[in-house]
């Protein structure tokens, strides 16, 4: 029984296999329609979500399975003080696989130690978000055709942005990748990510505050929202939230084939006029999420189609 708590729980070869299965699902959805008949996914979301929870549920329903769960800690017995470990021990008896989001870093790891069924970390605080990274990798493979040799600009809240941390972990395993970290000083990439996945691996990296200065060199621009919910101080959030706003004017500096990604939700960091630019692929990215999550559910449930 395997869980996915960190993207590195999956090897590069396994990620290639998941992408191949997701591509087959996109091409032949009918083949998978009953693959998880009589299987149940529990979505335990102690924090808000639109894409992750609904794409996991859509994924299981498209595989012919069932879903149950909660979308708000306040409607679960966490509100009465139940621990994550106890919740998971109980839900293990009701479902075959769990997708869990929790505001506390490490909560899904603790859950996986208690669980009798696979746990997928659907985002833990400002730490990691591996299933978003699978979505991002499927998007990059479709839009750029490769992972190797890409210059990836990550812009915005690199401190609390868990999607950024997991994407750096994943992309650091491909040769010739260069990271350009674009953030205000207060929202820089945490040391545990920069040191372990960039410096210790000897990867090329540039840390800047100006998006315009680096735009011309980027193959991928990965925009992120400033994560207001993780700030201790409302004043700091209000000061930093609009540091970067991507506009059509700024995009004139970018390569014609640069792609613009965003895990979403977007607040103000991408002007809606950018949505019509063919390089904007964040809504396609969100749609890929369902297919790669279908592939992940099949793998963790050891279902062969």
Q: Is 33 a catalytic residue?
A: no
Strand 220-223 with 204-208, pairing: unpaired
Nearer to ligand CP, 92 or 128 (CB): 128
Q: How far is the CB of 116 from ligand CP (least distance, A)?
A: 26
CA distances to 4, 63, 90, 211 from 264, in Å: 21, 25, 32, 19
- Nearest 10 degrees: Cα torsion 143, 145, 150, 155: 20
Q: Is 239 a catalytic residue?
A: no
Tokens of 95: 């479902």
Task: Find residue 45's DSSP bridge partners.
Answer: 101
Options 53, 101, 178, 241, the catalytic residue = 101
Options 39, 51, 53, 262, the catalytic residue = 51
Q: How far is the CB of 52 from ligand CP (least distance, A)?
A: 3
Q: Is 247 a catalytic residue?
A: no
Q: How far is the CB of 130 from ligand CP (least distance, A)?
A: 11
**Contacting positions for ligand CP (CB under 6 A):** 49-52, 123, 132, 263-265
Options 39, 102, 127, 129, the catalytic residue = 129
Task: Find residue 98's DSSP bridge partners.
Answer: 42, 119
- For residue 97, the SS3 value is strand
Q: How far is the CB of 79 from ligand CP (least distance, A)?
A: 21
Which residue bears the tokens 């299987």?
39
Q: Is 209 a catalytic residue?
A: no
Q: Is 101 a catalytic residue?
A: yes
The DSSP code for 209 is S
Say if residues 262 and 286 touch (Cβ distance below 8 Å): no
Options 52, 133, 139, 151, the catalytic residue = 52
Nearer to ligand CP, 5 or 214 (CB): 5
Nearer to ligand CP, 35 or 140 (CB): 140
**Which active-site residues does the annotation give?**
51-52, 80, 101, 129
């Amino acid at each position: 029984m395997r869980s996915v708590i960190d993207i590195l729980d999956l090897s590069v070869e396994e990620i290639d296999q998941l992408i191949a299965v997701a591509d087959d699902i996109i091409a032949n959805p009918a083949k998978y329609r009953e693959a998880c008949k009589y299987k149940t996914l529990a979505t335990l979301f102690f924090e808000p979500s639109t894409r992750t929870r609904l794409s996991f549920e859509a994924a299981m329903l498209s595989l012919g399975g069932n879903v149950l769960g909660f979308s708000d800690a306040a409607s679960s017995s966490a509100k009465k003080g139940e621990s994550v470990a106890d919740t998971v021990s109980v839900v293990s008896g009701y479902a075959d696989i769990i997708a869990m989001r929790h505001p506390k870093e490490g909560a899904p790891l603790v859950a996986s130690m208690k669980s009798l069924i696979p746990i997928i970390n659907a985002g833990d605080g400002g730490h990691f978000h591996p299933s978003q990274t699978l979505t991002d990798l499927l998007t990059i493979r479709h839009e750029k055709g490769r992972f190797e040799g890409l210059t990836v600009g990550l812009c915005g809240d690199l401190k609390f942005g868990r999607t950024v941390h997991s994407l750096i972990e994943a992309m650091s395993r491909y040769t010739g990748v260069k990271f350009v970290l674009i953030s205000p000083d207060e929202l820089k990439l945490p040391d545990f990510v920069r040191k372990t996945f960039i410096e210790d691996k000897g990867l090329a990296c540039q840390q800047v505050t100006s998006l315009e200065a680096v735009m011309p060199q980027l193959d991928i621009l990965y925009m992120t929202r400033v994560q207001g919910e993780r700030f201790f101080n409302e004043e700091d959030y209000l000061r930093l939230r609009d540091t970067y706003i991507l506009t059509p004017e700024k995009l004139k500096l970018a390569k014609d084939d640069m792609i613009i990604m965003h895990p979403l939700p977007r607040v103000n960091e991408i002007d809606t006029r950018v949505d019509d630019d063919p390089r904007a692929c964040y809504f396609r990215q969100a749609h890929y999420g369902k297919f790669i999550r279908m592939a992940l559910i099949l793998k963790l449930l050891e279902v062969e189609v």
